[in-house]
């Protein structure tokens, strides 16, 4: 796939996880940037939609994941390196990059590391605290 910024990507879907709040939808992918015949970069990218169906719009989200405008998108895009260290996160309101920060926090106090399904809550996304 080629992105709006001209990057060639190899994309692999990751295991799905579920959010307790039905107003939010989410998908996670491994994105690998291709340079010539080599992989030059890899990252984990999570799309969280607020009253926006991520699954129905996944092609547009993947093509535009590094853009400041994503038509009609309300939610956040979280990017991590392959060791799950935060690289960046962005929040969008009506398709436009917002200055608000978003964070994902785990509601399970016994959480230790990366199960496939776990409850997640969003904080400070689009003004929710």
Encode pLDDT of 89-120 as tens digits.
899 999 999 887 666 655 554 433 333 332 33
Rounded Cα distance, 29 and 16, in Å: 9
Q: What residue ranges do the domains of the chain occupy?
A: 8-127
Encode pLDDT of 27-51 as tens digits.
999 999 999 888 989 999 999 999 9
Q: Are 25 and 49 in contact (CB under 8 A)?
A: yes
pLDDT at 52 > cutoff 90: yes
CA atoms within 13 A on the CB side of 10: 11
Cα dihedral 51, 3, 78, 38 sign: positive
What pTM does this model have? 0.77
């Amino acid at each position: 796939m080629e992105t709006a910024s001209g990057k060639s990507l190899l994309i692999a879907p990751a295991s799905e996880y579920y959010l307790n709040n039905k107003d939010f939808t989410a998908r996670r992918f491994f994105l690998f940037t291709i340079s010539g015949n080599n992989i030059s970069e890899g990252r984990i990218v999570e799309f969280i939609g607020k009253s926006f169906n991520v699954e129905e719009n996944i092609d547009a989200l993947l093509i535009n994941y590094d853009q400041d405008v994503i038509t009609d998108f309300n939610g956040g895009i979280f990017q991590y390196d392959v060791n799950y260290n935060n690289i960046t996160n962005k929040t969008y309101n009506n398709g436009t990059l917002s200055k608000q920060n978003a964070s994902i926090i785990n509601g399970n106090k016994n959480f230790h590391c990366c199960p496939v399904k776990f409850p997640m809550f969003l904080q400070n996304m689009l003004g929710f605290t």
